[in-house]
Chains A and B, each alone.
Chain A
Amino acid sequence: MSVIYILWLRQIKRYVRSRPRIIAALGQPLLFLLALGFGFGPIFQRAGQGNYIQFLAPGVIGMTILFTAIFSGIELIWDRQFGFLKETLVAPVPRTVIMIGRTLGGATVALIQGLIVILICLAAGFRVTSFALLPWAILFMILIAVMFTALGTAIASVLSDFQGFQLVMNFLVMPIFFLSGALFPLTNLPRLLDLATTIDPLSYGVDGLRAALVGIAHFGMPLDTLVLCVIGAGLLGAGGYLFSRIQL
């Protein structure tokens, strides 16, 4: 337990101490929120879908958590490159415990970023419709954070340097974001796009967030929770397995 705590604490300390990273990571959601939110707002309104900021904000929160979580997982590559990974891997601690500590730390960082973005959204005019459902929103944020930190760790366990990182960003993380319904409603889509959004795990995260924060749901919260838990557990298992097989 104390081992998990110290691993978690390390991630948090690193996060708090890298202020440029915090600010940099907030720039992107801010841009999406302001440029897309206010840019597409009038069209969205005219199409009869209501206020776009209300629709977009949960998506932007989901995006922030996705990117921060994946990046926290991928940070493992830094640890490998700068040698710190060796220090943890020769310690008499089961690798699964190390993986869990790291993942919880990374997920916490992603959660904090998500909470900051909620505040930014509120400042930009976003309004939460039901405060009773706020704990649900937090739950969905945690599920998204854990799931994608585990995915990042799994990916970083098989990459030995940053050569493959762009590949992962462009062919995995970006599609997960753009096909998640963070930016557009999932109704009346062409069949192929509909299929893609249905298999994208972030769709369920964004849908859950949107349901909890503004009461708009596509899949519904029970299904969202189920899918996120199952896929999250699967990715944790896969990440733990791949991490335990690392050789240096």
Chain B
Amino acid sequence: MIKVTNLVKKYGDFTAVNDISFDVDEGEIFAFLGPNGAGKTTTIKILTTLLKPTSGHVELDGLNPAVQHNEARKRFGIVFQDPSLDEELTAYENMDFHGVLYKVPAKLRADRIEHLLTLFELWDRRNDPVKQFSGGMKRRLEIARGLLHTPRIVFLDEPTLGLDPQTRNQLWTHVRKLNDEERVTVFMTTHYMEEAERVAHRIAIIDHGKIVAQGSAEQLKAQTGAETLEQAFLALTGSTIRQEEATSLDQMRNMARMFRGRRR
């Protein structure tokens, strides 16, 4: 379903993704794990047509996302790592907007919006502007929205960041159900190793833009002689903490937050 061969992405001198290759089969849940700045999000952006690769080849359901944008875009749904909601619109309007963009017929759209908002316990708040939502509620809304158009492939980029255990549980249960019943292919990243262990069929560990290990959780543990996936992960990627500089985007968000005098 997803095929990546010798993918490279450079930003000037910095190599974010350095010659990686992997395959994800149809109906598989594939976890992409790695420390901050390892190249996970860059890879997802290339797979989802937001970035063009420097070199190498990417295939999504037999399509090249760098060339056949629109065909490829019809195949997947994505929950981004950073917020991507329109805060001035209500929860329902955000969902509806998404449904129209993906050409979900009006009747089906209304049904699915109700179903998903109810599932993620946002139905009562559907007419409130998103800017009044808490972080967890926004996250839930993003997840609900990513599933609205019943995609064949779902990308989940750290979807559980900032969620409470209840919501996380709800999310993964739903993802597994989608995977079991509708054979939806799932490509996910997370920092919670137990989540990866629980839901993923296969795991790839990426560090400094390179894939350092691939296989099932069991295989990775056996390979490193570790007892838990977390230990295996640390054994493979080392225990140094990665520095990430605040991007202009983070600075800008801080400024905007100050400017509006709004608490998080």
Within 33-54 of A, Cβ neighbours of B (below 8 Å) are at none
Cβ A10 vs Cβ B89 within 8 A: yes
Within 48-99 of A, Cβ neighbours of B (below 8 Å) are at 81-94
Residue A18 CB within 8 A of the other chain: yes
Cβ B248 vs Cβ A161 within 8 A: yes
Within 39-54 of B, Cβ neighbours of A (below 8 Å) are at 45, 48-52
Q: How far is the CA of A248 from the CA of B157 in the complex (A)?
A: 15
Q: Which residue of A lies closest to B248 (CB)?
A: A161
Q: How many residues of A contact B (CB 8 A)?
A: 29
Q: How far is the CA of A94 from the CA of B253 in the complex (A)?
A: 29
Cβ A93 vs Cβ B70 within 8 A: yes
Which residues of A sit under 8 angstroms from B50, Cβ to Cβ? 86, 89-90, 247-248
Closest Cβ of chain B: how far from A226's Cβ, in Å?
Answer: 35
Which residues of A sit under 8 angstroms from B76, Cβ to Cβ? 90
Residue B239 CB within 8 A of the other chain: no
Q: Mark B239-256, 1 if CB is under 8 A from A, else 0.
A: 000000000110011001
Q: How far is the CA of A160 from the CA of B87 in the complex (A)?
A: 20
State whether A92 and B84 are in contact (beta carbons under 8 Å apart), knowing that A2-B100, A86-B50, A162-B252 are contacts in the complex. Answer: no
State whether A94 and B70 are in contact (beta carbons under 8 Å apart), knowing that A82-B87, A84-B85, A88-B101 are contacts in the complex. Answer: yes
Which residues of B sit under 8 angstroms from A13, Cβ to Cβ? 88-89, 93
Q: How far is the CA of A93 from the CA of B86 in the complex (A)?
A: 18
Residue B82 CB within 8 A of the other chain: yes
Within 136-181 of B, Cβ neighbours of A (below 8 Å) are at 145
Q: How far is the CA of A89 from the CA of B49 in the complex (A)?
A: 8
Interface of A is mostly: helix
Q: How far is the CA of A14 from the CA of B89 in the complex (A)?
A: 7
Closest Cβ of chain A: how far from B202's Cβ, in Å?
Answer: 24
Cβ A92 vs Cβ B74 within 8 A: yes
Residue B225 CB within 8 A of the other chain: no
Cβ B84 vs Cβ A83 within 8 A: yes
Closest Cβ of chain A: how far from B85's Cβ, in Å?
Answer: 7
Cβ B70 vs Cβ A84 within 8 A: no
Residue B98 CB within 8 A of the other chain: yes
Cβ B73 vs Cβ A90 within 8 A: yes
Which residues of B sit under 8 angstroms from A2, Cβ to Cβ? 100, 103
Which residues of A sit under 8 angstroms from B70, Cβ to Cβ? 92-94
Q: How far is the CA of A60 from the CA of B138 in the complex (A)?
A: 41
Which residues of B sit under 8 angstroms from A93, Cβ to Cβ? 70, 73, 101
Q: Which residue of A lies closest to B65 (CB)?
A: A90
Cβ A10 vs Cβ B86 within 8 A: yes
Which residues of B sit under 8 angstroms from A88, Cβ to Cβ? 101
Cβ B84 vs Cβ A86 within 8 A: yes
State whether A18 and B88 are in contact (beta carbons under 8 Å apart), knowing that A92-B70, A248-B50 are contacts in the complex. Answer: yes
The 6 lowest CB-CB distance pairs between A and B, nearest first, are A83-B84, A92-B73, A91-B101, A6-B100, A92-B74, A248-B50
B residues with a Cβ closer than 8 A to A are: 45, 48-52, 70-71, 73-74, 76, 78, 80, 82-89, 93, 96-98, 100-103, 129, 145, 248-249, 252-253, 256
18 A/B residue pairs, CB under 8 Å, sorted by A: A2-B100, A3-B101, A3-B103, A10-B97, A14-B86, A18-B88, A81-B256, A82-B253, A83-B85, A86-B84, A87-B84, A87-B85, A89-B49, A91-B102, A92-B74, A92-B102, A163-B248, A247-B52
